[in-house]
Chain A
């Protein structure tokens, strides 16, 4: 048991972190290779909304309008002149703003990105102050009034239960 306990001290944990770091780095690096044209088309069409259907992406949609956009994207990728983002921008320009699935990060539309971030920050700050207050209150020792209140509440609960 003691050897197992020792294992759980630093050697085991250091080994664990080494293994995780190595494999994460390897797996992430392997991903960075160039994408095939098909994968690029797939990735791009997943970021474009079908202009006439209800909220489907061009990638999913079987609609002729989507097929046209898919063909356009394929041609653009084959030409190899534009990056993925530029192709999306080009399609949005050609087929209208409602084909843009990923909201812009500028102007009013940026709010959809900023509000969640702001909410997270607010929650963090709120929690920080809450913990500070709790820490301060934690030292409070119950006085006789508090005890009386608890007694009374308990008595009431018991009565209620009995009735």
Chain B
């Protein structure tokens, strides 16, 4: 039993070293900056590396404990089992709260050390120094969480195998996406710490001009890209695993990831107004603060057990700490903004609402409103419960009702904004530039109606999606015609690729929400049913056993072709029934099969539910395009502004060549 306690000891030591390094690092750097002590500033690099080593060690030790099944650790007893398949045993690290905090910590420490390394030469600049101090303080907070309230290395006592050690939640051990979705999502969440830290640095030093924006723009972009891809992967997981046939349920955990996405999206648009025109400084700072604090608030909402959710794979006593952190972040940031208020007053003016900056303003109003609606809907049951002590639910019908008009207006903005010039647009110019994009919209509408689409809201969505797609394509065509493949690079053009991705997602969501058809059929072995122009033959209903589960599956041949096998598994350890859908993916629609309770192999009877879900695959393609577009946007475009260029210099009215 040599292993007993060793992992726990190493893990705790790593965390303590990391905590000490980040606390001392933050303290030393703050002191050094205040005293202008360059020697001490240089020493901070060491602290950052030690903190990173601490985080890496903690994760490695936990993985080792999981892989070697070290039952002396309570967390291993909680999420490990003797027979979890290796892949899901590896991902078990982030299948509950304690390990998730370790993963968060690892990524945060990585971001911190990348910042420290990248700005090593400029650490004497107080702005950079305060940004790093902020990052180290946040790192220290997460080390503290990992050591105290969510101690992953807590000793577990003698395992009672009758009760413990059942492995991760069955939902977290039947799809490969469990390996990718959480880390990528976390890369997004945690990534927004960097622009937030620079915002704090700018406020503390009072240099709220535009310099720091150039530094953080790309960081924000990367974080946004990861968050977007992470959210799309999450929807994919939900679609492939949960078996209710949908991709988005407005569940609190989903909302928690969507909130920072909304404010982050608002930020990466409005930051361009500040860069170009030097305006909206307070607003941009507030958006960064909102994005970062919403990640903490979202974690609080979903991890403290205050709201219930199918995705919340944990609850704990972490709540007060996260809520406290949220309060501190908001209070400190607002205090700093108030303190620096005089320097934040923007010098310029927005001349006309019909201009690029006017469109960005409208975009920001809508995204902020959207975020407000989502936040309100998510916490409203809590408010009602606290006030009247009664339980109410605010569910997907509410969010759908609210999101549809906002989404449609956003699509419209997406169509018009890319062709608008800065400062002021003339009717003439709009009429010329929007002509072909508008016909793309009309074409999309005609096509949709001819294919049988009905309903005002979906049709408006398709029209504006086509319109927006036309605008994005117009920009890309003009740019590539001028510059060749380089016309795809840079923020403007890469941004248009992202727009195309978002449009695909919007179209896929609209179509699948509006036109899904479902039918439930009770079939005997050999029966064939017709549904939505396809034939479904039940070839067989069979029992199956796997190392960690037993179950039944139906073999359903679609149109006499390949057999699809929706299943229901009982995870023996947890005694939990999990349905696994089987999906035939197509460009026009998916055929989504689930096996319902009541199916019996002994009698050859199966209850099969068939969903016809249009255009689902385009959501995933859109997500991919968003990620790809973010990469393109991160490459410097042709016209690179020097950071020292005055931002309110006259801007040429014509940015692009007209057709």
Q: Which residues of A contact B508 (CB under 8 A)?
A: none
A19-B446, A24-B460, A60-B244 known; A100 vs B646 contact (CB < 8 Å): no
Range class of the A interface residue count? 35 or more
> A residues 117-163 with Cβ under 8 Å of B?
119-120, 123-124, 127, 130-131, 133-135, 137-138, 150, 153-154, 157-158, 160-161
Q: Which residues of B contact A5 (CB under 8 A)?
A: 432
Find out whether the CB atom of B446 lies under 8 angstroms from the CB atom of A55: no
Q: Which residues of B contact A7 (CB under 8 A)?
A: 435
Which stretch in B151-159, B175-183, B389-397, B625-633 binds the other chain? B389-397
A65 nearest CB across to chain B (Å): 13
The residue in A26, A101, A111 that gathers the most chain B C-beta atoms within 10 A of its C-beta is A101
Give CA–CA (A8, B392) in the complex, Å: 54
Chain B contributes a number of interface residues (CB within 8 A of A) equal to 67
Find out whether the CB atom of B310 lies under 8 angstroms from the CB atom of A53: yes
Give CA–CA (A133, B454) in the complex, Å: 44
A134 nearest CB across to chain B (Å): 4
User: How does the 8 Å CB contact mask read for B319-339 relative to A, with 1 for contact and 0 for none?
Assistant: 000000000000000000000
* Residue of B125, B246, B432, B449 touching A23 (CB-CB under 8 A): B449
> A residues 50-100 with Cβ under 8 Å of B?
53-57, 59-62, 97-100
Give CA–CA (A55, B519) in the complex, Å: 23
A19-B442, A127-B361 known; A8 vs B453 contact (CB < 8 Å): no
Find out whether the CB atom of B369 lies under 8 angstroms from the CB atom of A103: no
A50 nearest CB across to chain B (Å): 10
Find out whether the CB atom of A97 lies under 8 angstroms from the CB atom of B442: no
Find out whether the CB atom of A138 lies under 8 angstroms from the CB atom of B351: yes
Give CA–CA (A131, B362) in the complex, Å: 12
Find out whether the CB atom of A101 lies under 8 angstroms from the CB atom of B395: yes
Find out whether the CB atom of A24 lies under 8 angstroms from the CB atom of B456: yes
B52 nearest CB across to chain A (Å): 28
> A residues 33-56 with Cβ under 8 Å of B?
38, 42, 46-47, 49, 53-56
Q: Which residues of A contact B368 (CB under 8 A)?
A: 123
Find out whether the CB atom of B445 lies under 8 angstroms from the CB atom of A20: yes
Q: Which residues of B contact A123 (CB under 8 A)?
A: 365, 368-369
Find out whether the CB atom of A28 lies under 8 angstroms from the CB atom of B455: yes
Find out whether the CB atom of B435 lies under 8 angstroms from the CB atom of A13: yes
B544 within 8 A of A: no
Which stretch in B166-174, B184-192, B225-233, B371-379 binds the other chain? B371-379
Give CA–CA (A97, B368) in the complex, Å: 30
Find out whether the CB atom of B308 lies under 8 angstroms from the CB atom of A16: no
Look across to chain A and name the residue whose beta carbon is closest to the beta carbon of B520: A38
Find out whether the CB atom of B391 lies under 8 angstroms from the CB atom of A60: no
Give CA–CA (A15, B390) in the complex, Å: 56
Q: Which residues of B contact A55 (CB under 8 A)?
A: 249, 251-252, 308-310, 393, 395
* Residue of B125, B209, B308, B377 touching A153 (CB-CB under 8 A): B209
Give CA–CA (A119, B368) in the complex, Å: 10
Look across to chain B and name the residue whose beta carbon is closest to the beta carbon of A64: B597
Give CA–CA (A153, B456) in the complex, Å: 54
Give CA–CA (A75, B455) in the complex, Å: 27
B654 nearest CB across to chain A (Å): 16
Give CA–CA (A102, B384) in the complex, Å: 14
A59 nearest CB across to chain B (Å): 8
Q: Which residues of B contact A158 (CB under 8 A)?
A: 644
The residue in B395, B439, B644 that gathers the most chain A C-beta atoms within 10 A of its C-beta is B395
Q: Which residues of B contact A101 (CB under 8 A)?
A: 393-398
B524 within 8 A of A: no
Find out whether the CB atom of B449 lies under 8 angstroms from the CB atom of A112: no
Give CA–CA (A134, B277) in the complex, Å: 13
Q: Which residues of B contact A98 (CB under 8 A)?
A: 391-393
Look across to chain B and name the residue whose beta carbon is closest to the beta carbon of A32: B454
Find out whether the CB atom of B596 lies under 8 angstroms from the CB atom of A28: no
Find out whether the CB atom of B518 lies under 8 angstroms from the CB atom of A42: yes
* Residue of B251, B349, B397 touching A134 (CB-CB under 8 A): B349
Find out whether the CB atom of A54 lies under 8 angstroms from the CB atom of B308: yes
Q: Which residues of B contact A134 (CB under 8 A)?
A: 349-351
B148 within 8 A of A: no
Look across to chain A and name the residue whose beta carbon is closest to the beta carbon of B467: A20
Look across to chain A and name the residue whose beta carbon is closest to the beta carbon of B358: A131
Find out whether the CB atom of A97 lies under 8 angstroms from the CB atom of B365: no
Find out whether the CB atom of A49 lies under 8 angstroms from the CB atom of B395: yes
Q: Which residues of A contact B384 (CB under 8 A)?
A: 108-109
Give CA–CA (A76, B87) in the complex, Å: 48
* Residue of B249, B349, B351 touching A56 (CB-CB under 8 A): B249
B163 within 8 A of A: no
Look across to chain B and name the residue whose beta carbon is closest to the beta carbon of A88: B397
Look across to chain B and name the residue whose beta carbon is closest to the beta carbon of A102: B397
A19-B446, A20-B442, A46-B396 known; A116 vs B644 contact (CB < 8 Å): no
Find out whether the CB atom of B349 lies under 8 angstroms from the CB atom of A137: yes
Look across to chain B and name the residue whose beta carbon is closest to the beta carbon of A39: B517
The residue in A8, A19, A53, A130 that gathers the most chain B C-beta atoms within 10 A of its C-beta is A8
B463 within 8 A of A: yes
Q: Which residues of A contact B351 (CB under 8 A)?
A: 134-135, 138
A127 nearest CB across to chain B (Å): 7
B393 nearest CB across to chain A (Å): 5
Q: Which residues of A contact B459 (CB under 8 A)?
A: 23-24, 27-28
Give CA–CA (A13, B384) in the complex, Å: 50
Look across to chain A and name the residue whose beta carbon is closest to the beta carbon of B646: A154
Find out whether the CB atom of B251 lies under 8 angstroms from the CB atom of A127: no
A100-B393, A109-B384 known; A120 vs B446 contact (CB < 8 Å): no
Give CA–CA (A24, B353) in the complex, Å: 28
Give CA–CA (A57, B7) in the complex, Å: 43
B160 within 8 A of A: no
B255 nearest CB across to chain A (Å): 10
Look across to chain B and name the residue whose beta carbon is closest to the beta carbon of A47: B397
Find out whether the CB atom of A23 lies under 8 angstroms from the CB atom of B350: no
A55-B252, A60-B245, A131-B353 known; A97 vs B391 contact (CB < 8 Å): yes
B201 within 8 A of A: no
* Residue of A9, A57, A116, A124 touching B402 (CB-CB under 8 A): A116
- Chain B residues near A (Cβ < 8 Å): 125, 209, 211, 243-246, 249, 251-252, 308-310, 312, 349-351, 353, 361, 365, 368-369, 372-373, 376-377, 380, 384, 387-388, 390-398, 401-402, 431-432, 435, 438-439, 441-442, 445-446, 448-449, 453-456, 459-460, 463, 518-519, 579, 596-597, 643-644, 646
Q: Which 9 pairs, one residue from A and one from B, show the smallest C-beta to C-beta distance?
A: A101-B395, A60-B244, A134-B349, A31-B454, A54-B308, A8-B435, A31-B455, A102-B397, A98-B391
The contact sample of 21 A-B pairs, CB cut-off 8 A, is A5-B432, A7-B435, A12-B435, A13-B431, A13-B435, A24-B460, A26-B449, A28-B454, A28-B456, A42-B518, A55-B309, A97-B391, A100-B392, A100-B393, A103-B394, A109-B384, A112-B376, A112-B398, A127-B361, A133-B349, A138-B349
A56-B244, A111-B380 known; 20 new pairs, CB 8 Å cut-off, are A20-B441, A26-B449, A28-B456, A31-B454, A38-B519, A42-B518, A46-B397, A54-B308, A54-B309, A59-B244, A60-B249, A62-B596, A98-B393, A101-B395, A101-B397, A103-B398, A109-B384, A112-B380, A138-B349, A150-B646
